[in-house]
Structure 1
Amino acid sequence: MKKIVIIGGGVAGLAAGIYARICGMDAEIYEKNAIPGGECIGWRRKGFVIDNCIHWLTGTKKGTELNDVWKEVGALLDDTEYAPLNSFFTSWHGDKKATLWVDLDRTRRELTELSPEDKEEIDKFIDYVEYSKKCVMPAAKPLDMFGFMDYINYGKEMGEFVNVMKELGNLSLKEYSKRFKSPLIRKMLCDYLPGDYTAYSLLVSYATIADGNGSIPVGGSLELSLRMEKRFKDLGGRIFYNKPAQKLNIEKKKVVSMLLEDGTTVTGDVFICTADTVVLFKKLIDEKYMPKLYKKAYESSEEYRAISGFQVAFAADKKFNPGETVFIDIEPLKVGAGTFDRMYVKVYGYDDTFVNGDRQVIQTNIFQSDADYEWWKSLTKEEYNRAKEELAEAVRTRIETAFPETIGTMEYLDAWTPLTYERYCNAYHGSYMSFMTTPGSKTIRVKGYIKGIKNLCFAGQWSNQPGGLPVAVTNGKFAIQRMFSRKEFEERINDQRRAEGREAERDTYDSIAAVCGKRVS
């Protein structure tokens, strides 16, 4: 039996392990932390659960290829419940507000009432979002395994979204927003994603929500990762925690073993690295193996930008409900190297996981760039801790200014920075996704093979921009799928489904309390 050694127990690593076991291979995962999930985690503070990752999960719509993958890996079950949300987000500016509702007709109507002079562009915007529902990531197999007819059919399925790409593919959100006269709509279009992102990125995100394909599983990020861990173990996989990798030993163009930081040596037939590519190519193996596209990306931070955040969590009265996610004007606040006059407040009362008695978790995130990361990195430990405390208090006062009903009611829970992601996940510049998709830059989309090493590949969100959970889970799957012919892989998947009686109910997995007290910030 071929042995697969997987570096990293995040969503990509767990997916690779699960598909390896389904395909009859021995599989071991080595994870540097004490719990699974990588960036897809949560933790507990003062009796409250804080969620780090899922703002929505692409692939929750039944019948989609990605939904099939989420179910295959156990992340979503037949009885999984979803939060009852009816909007994407709301933007405030001055005394006016605008909401992107799940109901596109309602959004069209309210935006037109807000700014009649923008009616033509508003109609186009809603049409573009409707067309963007057709932008569905292939999950049954990777593009490099497509045949001629697969490409033909995929192109047909994209429908009018192809025209959206043609018109907006070279525009940033900031540039696109200038088509609108309303200051509020301009703010709204650059609120959820940084204004440097490609314009269609927001449209696709909103379309996912509006199509019912971007719901939020109750229980949040950590429980999703725990369900995947359970699936992997139930299939006979082995996962080892607190086992960071130090080096891959290469002889005669093959990895012969992996050295862990505790001195342990691990052997296997095939090695799959699901950690950040900067970890693989600048720590585990010689940098000479790094593909040219990645060398360019790491050397061209203006073209290939990392995105992170400074985040703060509070406990607030459950009655506080300005909307699930609300962007507000704030007194300018310097965070890292930049100064910001907008931020959001995300209210988690929609899920009892994040409620304790009559109190709920609220969080905010201020985007951080490569320059901001460098600022945080320059601080001493004492300066770093003081900066976190002072900024958390500054965030509190700005929330209180926007929402006076919160004055004296919010309890500070935690704050985390780009360095938290770097320390916990070895994330490049603290990025919780892959490189930003910006107009004009060449999109990174690779198979993960490494020239000069026969039995090593990499998978995960850094294999495809813009990263995120869908990219992570599918690339974990694809790393295994490429080892087989299309027919053989499908036969093994179907054999496993028949053996399990896939329609039968699975046991629920409810052990969040046992692990979510781990400190990560």
Structure 2
Amino acid sequence: MADHQLIIIGGGLSGLAAGIRAARFGQKTLIVEQHSLPGGLNSYYLRQGHLLETGLHAMTNFAPPRVKHAPLNRLFRQLQLSRKEFTTHEQIESEVLFPGITLRFSNDLNLLIEEVADHFPLAVDRFRSLVREVDAYDPFAERPWQSARTFLRSRLADPLLEDMLLLPLMVYGNAEEDDMDMGQFAIMFRAVFLEGFFRPAGTIKDLLDRLLAQYKAFGGEIRFRAPVSHILTEGGIVRGISLQSGEELFAEAVLSTAGILGTAEMSGWPLEPDRYTGRMSFMETITLLPELHLPPERSGKTIIFYNQQERLNYHRPSGPIDPSWGVICFPNNFQGLVQNNRPVQVRVTNAANYNIWRQANEAEYRQLKEDCGQQSAAAVRQILGDYSRDAVFQDSFTPLTIERFTGKCAGAVYGSPVKIKSGKTPWPNLFIAGTDQGYLGIVGSMLSGVTIVNQHLLK
């Protein structure tokens, strides 16, 4: 006899959202999370009295409460949460910075259109047509892989504009190297350019606490420090899970947010690791400052996506990191945020080579963190000046940190380059949700969990 109707592997945002949705409709649901805190990649930790967030630079898919069909508001209805009580702070202004040229954008698409008109006047009408085409595109229709670069080249006929548009979309949600599937491109284009960035009030801890409270209010259970050893299968179906402690838990269905490869390893699902292992991982350095002094042209920016080369090289670097391109995020620079005398944050993210970090011994690993931190800071100083001179605290996480605390193989933040949009596996009652189902970003990840429950578990 099953202990639960549904067991969810992973207490990240997709797992929590799936749990709320299932529990809301009376399913006896258990979430098992290997760590002591929820959130997965989007979590937090404490250092020297400071709460430091992981993952959350900004949320995408902003929409005001009145836009009923927007992904953010649809998500809140599915979870029976009040959107009106969910305070949001929109970005002030972000920019894409390439040598000699900058494109500014905000949650008002007109700013980006004006920037394209100023810097790429021959392409602005083609860009407007592209926006309409992407807005009408169905990213979840079953179709063969299509190149976003080929699409952009045929529509814009401008390689530099192509690269500048791709950088924010790739670095915020692309598991592939150098190119991305047209469906993923459409999802990210809408999320970043048509809807935009925002932060919820408070910290990621506040958001996670709210989701956990909703889950428990519907009767859901969660167990922390409960890593799964393997998924139990028998007679062509899944029977439940076995924890590393040896305890077995039985369920009518299992939903895994551990990614395709992690789920395959636990269930004995025969897959080709080379095809499904993601290669894009990152190192991020968080710097806390008593106050932030920026050059006038950078003042008030929320996120800077920078590339110091002529072309964008979005792939795993040959060295431990590639400081020539990346993301600079100012989590305090959102509309309406009050500082309250807390330290100001600067977060810098660069592509990293998992294999180099994996092969380092403990002493080499510490030295790599120091050396790469200096390389990254040197690149950022060219944009911000000596921003970190008065730092009160600094910490970094690497591909190994990501792998350890999220279970994502090879520290691949965006999972497998191959997505399973249906969420189905070889077993009729085992499903996957989260990044490897194809939804990306915080809102997308949560919608993934909700969608899988709706489509397969609430029939």
Shift of residue 427, structure 1, vs aligned partner: 0.3
2:180 aligned with 1:180: no
Q: Which residue of 1 aligns with 2:95?
A: 89
2:252 aligned with 1:269: yes
Shift of residue 239, structure 1, vs aligned partner: 0.4
Matches within 5 A, 1:6-405: 6-54=8-56, 55-58=58-61, 60-61=63-64, 62-64=67-69, 66=71, 67-73=73-79, 77-94=83-100, 96-113=101-118, 115=119, 118-135=120-137, 169=148, 171=150, 179-180=157-158, 185=161, 188-192=164-168, 193=170, 196-198=178-180, 205-212=188-195, 214-282=197-265, 284-286=266-268, 289-290=269-270, 295-296=271-272, 298-300=273-275, 305-321=278-294, 322=298, 323-328=301-306, 336-337=319-320, 339-350=322-333, 355=339, 357=341, 359-368=343-352, 372-404=353-385
Count the aligned residue pairs.
434
Query: Residues 60, 47 of structure 1: CA spacing in aligned structure 2 closer, same or farther, 3 A cutoff?
Result: farther
The DSSP-based 3-state class of the residue aligned with 1:25 is coil
The DSSP-based 3-state class of the residue aligned with 1:267 is strand
Shift of residue 364, structure 1, vs aligned partner: 0.8
Structure 1, residues 303-345: CA drift from partner, whole Å, max 9, x if none? x74322111110135343521112346699x774564423332
Query: Residues 213, 243 of structure 1: CA spacing in aligned structure 2 closer, same or farther, 3 A cutoff?
Result: same
Q: Does the 8 Å contact 2:60/2:441 carry over to 1? A: no
Q: Does the 8 Å contact 2:331/2:345 carry over to 1? A: yes
- C-alpha distance in structure 2 between counterparts of 1:252 and 1:240, whole Å: 28
The TM-score, its normalising length taken from structure 2, stands at 0.81
The DSSP-based 3-state class of the residue aligned with 2:451 is helix
Q: Does the 8 Å contact 1:176/1:199 carry over to 2? A: no
Q: Could you tell me which amino acid in structure 2 is paired with residue 128 of structure 1?
A: L
The TM-score, its normalising length taken from structure 1, stands at 0.72
Shift of residue 206, structure 1, vs aligned partner: 4.5
- C-alpha distance in structure 2 between counterparts of 1:216 and 1:3, whole Å: 34
Shift of residue 59, structure 1, vs aligned partner: 6.0
2:387 aligned with 1:420: no
- C-alpha distance in structure 2 between counterparts of 1:53 and 1:10, whole Å: 11
Structure 1, residues 94-132: CA drift from partner, whole Å, max 9, x if none? 4x533123333333333433x3xx312133224323443
Query: Residues 133, 24 of structure 1: CA spacing in aligned structure 2 closer, same or farther, 3 A cutoff?
Result: same
2:422 aligned with 1:447: yes
The DSSP-based 3-state class of the residue aligned with 2:403 is helix
Q: Does the 8 Å contact 2:148/2:179 carry over to 1? A: no
- C-alpha distance in structure 2 between counterparts of 1:16 and 1:204, whole Å: 20
- C-alpha distance in structure 2 between counterparts of 1:475 and 1:84, whole Å: 23
Q: Could you tell me which amino acid in structure 2 is paired with residue 101 of structure 1?
A: S
- C-alpha distance in structure 1 between counterparts of 2:343 and 2:178, whole Å: 36
Q: Does the 8 Å contact 2:8/2:29 carry over to 1? A: yes
The DSSP-based 3-state class of the residue aligned with 1:191 is helix
- C-alpha distance in structure 2 between counterparts of 1:376 and 1:459, whole Å: 28
Q: Does the 8 Å contact 1:48/1:354 carry over to 2? A: no
The DSSP-based 3-state class of the residue aligned with 2:87 is coil
Q: Does the 8 Å contact 1:5/1:271 carry over to 2? A: yes
Q: Could you tell me which amino acid in structure 1 is paired with residue 346 of structure 2?
A: I
Shift of residue 407, structure 1, vs aligned partner: 5.8
Q: Does the 8 Å contact 1:171/1:198 carry over to 2? A: no
Shift of residue 412, structure 1, vs aligned partner: 4.2
2:442 aligned with 1:469: yes
Q: Which residue of 1 aligns with 2:174?
A: none
Task: List runs of 5+ in structure 1 lacking aligned partners.
Answer: 145-161, 437-442, 490-521
- C-alpha distance in structure 2 between counterparts of 1:458 and 1:266, whole Å: 18
Between 1:121-130 and 1:358-367, the stretch displaced more is: 121-130
Q: Does the 8 Å contact 2:33/2:222 carry over to 1? A: yes
Q: Could you tell me which amino acid in structure 2 is paired with residue 171 of structure 1?
A: T
Query: Residues 27, 397 of structure 1: CA spacing in aligned structure 2 closer, same or farther, 3 A cutoff?
Result: same
Task: List runs of 5+ in structure 2 lacking aligned partners.
Answer: 172-176
Q: Could you tell me which amino acid in structure 2 is paired with residue 326 of structure 1?
A: I
Tell me how large the CA RMSD over aligned residues is: 3.6
Q: Does the 8 Å contact 1:7/1:274 carry over to 2? A: yes
- C-alpha distance in structure 2 between counterparts of 1:92 and 1:317, whole Å: 29
Shift of residue 34, structure 1, vs aligned partner: 0.8
Query: Residues 203, 483 of structure 1: CA spacing in aligned structure 2 closer, same or farther, 3 A cutoff?
Result: closer
Q: Could you tell me which amino acid in structure 1 is paired with residue 150 of structure 2?
A: L
| Rg larger for | 1
Q: Could you tell me which amino acid in structure 1 is paired with residue 324 of structure 2?
A: D
The DSSP-based 3-state class of the residue aligned with 2:251 is coil
- C-alpha distance in structure 2 between counterparts of 1:105 and 1:343, whole Å: 25
Q: 1:432 aligns with which of 398, 413, 424?
A: 413
Q: Does the 8 Å contact 2:5/2:29 carry over to 1? A: yes
Structure 1, residues 13-50: CA drift from partner, whole Å, max 9, x if none? 22222122122221111110111111222333344443
- C-alpha distance in structure 2 between counterparts of 1:69 and 1:344, whole Å: 27
The DSSP-based 3-state class of the residue aligned with 2:150 is coil
The DSSP-based 3-state class of the residue aligned with 1:482 is helix
